């Protein structure tokens, strides 16, 4: 088992070394502010832009985490979502938006480690990771996994799980229906697109457990709610959600 997992890691390691070498030899411009990158800065984004991230702070809605709300937001007061609470690290804008794009769509895995450090340094005060039995990244369909080469939420979840010493669950829930990318659709189509996309494979592992779902970004919340609704079928004790970024309408 050990040698098998090492073999699987090697191509990724070469890729990261290659990416580092390219960035070091040809330091281009910052992808956010377009100033020249120093050779000592992190790849693709300058130090100033990394320091410009808008991290979220309380007060926020007790349930959905909408910023600048005390108690419950109007929507949660009328029709609460299926999870216990949802928290996010930062607003989805400028640096975080570009970093997620580079990482997820341009496959710059080299940024994952820095994003994980940002998350672990800014875990919300009311979201203690060690209180969960499992961390569960939102699954992607195997066809998308083949295309992208990795699940961005799994990479982030592994970094969070490792730092907190909490096990990660990657095979208890699958995305059994291939869907077009949510980001390519309008709001109504997104909801239809994601219905019944997930399926529990290991209900016994989930039963009576406290689960923290990890995703890179929350926009409408349809995907996460679909995951949560499927997980409830296995009677877990608690389901909360943590995302790296959120849009303001999320």
**Chain positions contacting Zn ion, by CB under 5 A:** 30, 32-33, 46, 49, 61, 63-64, 66, 73, 76
Q: Which is nearer to Zn ion, 57 or 235 (CB)?
A: 57
Is 139 strand, coil or helix? coil
CB of 249 to Zn ion, least distance (A): 12
Q: Which is nearer to Zn ion, 49 or 234 (CB)?
A: 49
CB atoms within 10 A of CB 204: 9
CB of 73 to Zn ion, least distance (A): 3
Q: Give the separation between CA 70 and CA 59, rounded to whole angstroms.
A: 6
Enumerate residues 6+ apart whose C-beta is below 8 A from 197.
141, 175, 176, 177, 179, 223, 226
CB of 25 to Zn ion, least distance (A): 20
Helices H, strands E: what count in the chain? 10, 6
Q: Which is nearer to Zn ion, 69 or 214 (CB)?
A: 69
CB of 213 to Zn ion, least distance (A): 17
Q: Which is nearer to Zn ion, 38 or 235 (CB)?
A: 38
CB atoms within 10 A of CB 250: 19
Q: Which is nearer to Zn ion, 206 or 217 (CB)?
A: 217
Within a 13 Å sphere around the CA of 200, how many CA atoms are in the beta-carbon half?
17
CB atoms within 10 A of CB 199: 13
Q: Give the separation between CA 67 and CA 89, rounded to whole angstroms.
A: 11
Across-strand partners of 214? 137, 242
CB of 38 to Zn ion, least distance (A): 11
Backbone angles phi, psi at 48, to 5 degrees: -60, -45
CB of 248 to Zn ion, least distance (A): 12
Q: Which is nearer to Zn ion, 73 or 157 (CB)?
A: 73
């Amino acid at each position: 088992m050990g040698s098998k997992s090492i073999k699987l890691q090697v191509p990724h390691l070469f890729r990261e070394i290659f990416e580092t070498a390219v960035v070091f030899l040809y330091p281009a411009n910052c992808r956010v502010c377009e100033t020249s990158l120093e050779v000592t800065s992190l790849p693709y984004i300058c130090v100033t832009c990394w320091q410009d991230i808008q991290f979220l702070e309380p007060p926020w809605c007790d349930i959905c985490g909408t910023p600048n709300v005390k108690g419950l937001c109007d929507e949660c007061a009328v029709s609460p979502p299926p999870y216990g609470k949802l928290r996010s690290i930062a607003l989805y804008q400028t640096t975080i938006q570009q970093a997620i794009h580079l990482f997820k769509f341009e496959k710059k895995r080299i940024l994952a480690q820095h994003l994980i450090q940002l998350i672990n340094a800014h875990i919300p005060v009311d979201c203690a990771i060690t209180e969960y039995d499992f961390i569960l990244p939102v699954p992607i369909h195997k066809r998308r996994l083949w295309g992208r080469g990795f699940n961005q939420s799994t990479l982030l979840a592994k970094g969070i799980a490792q730092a907190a010493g909490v096990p990660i669950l990657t095979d208890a829930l699958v995305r059994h229906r291939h869907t077009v990318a949510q980001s390519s659709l309008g709001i109504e189509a997104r909801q239809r697109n994601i219905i019944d996309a997930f399926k529990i494979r290991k209900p016994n592992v989930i039963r009576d457990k406290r689960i923290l779902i990890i995703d890179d970004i929350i926009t409408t919340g349809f995907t996460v709610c679909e995951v949560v609704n499927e997980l409830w079928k296995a009677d877990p004790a608690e389901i909360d959600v943590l995302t790296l970024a959120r849009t303001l309408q999320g």
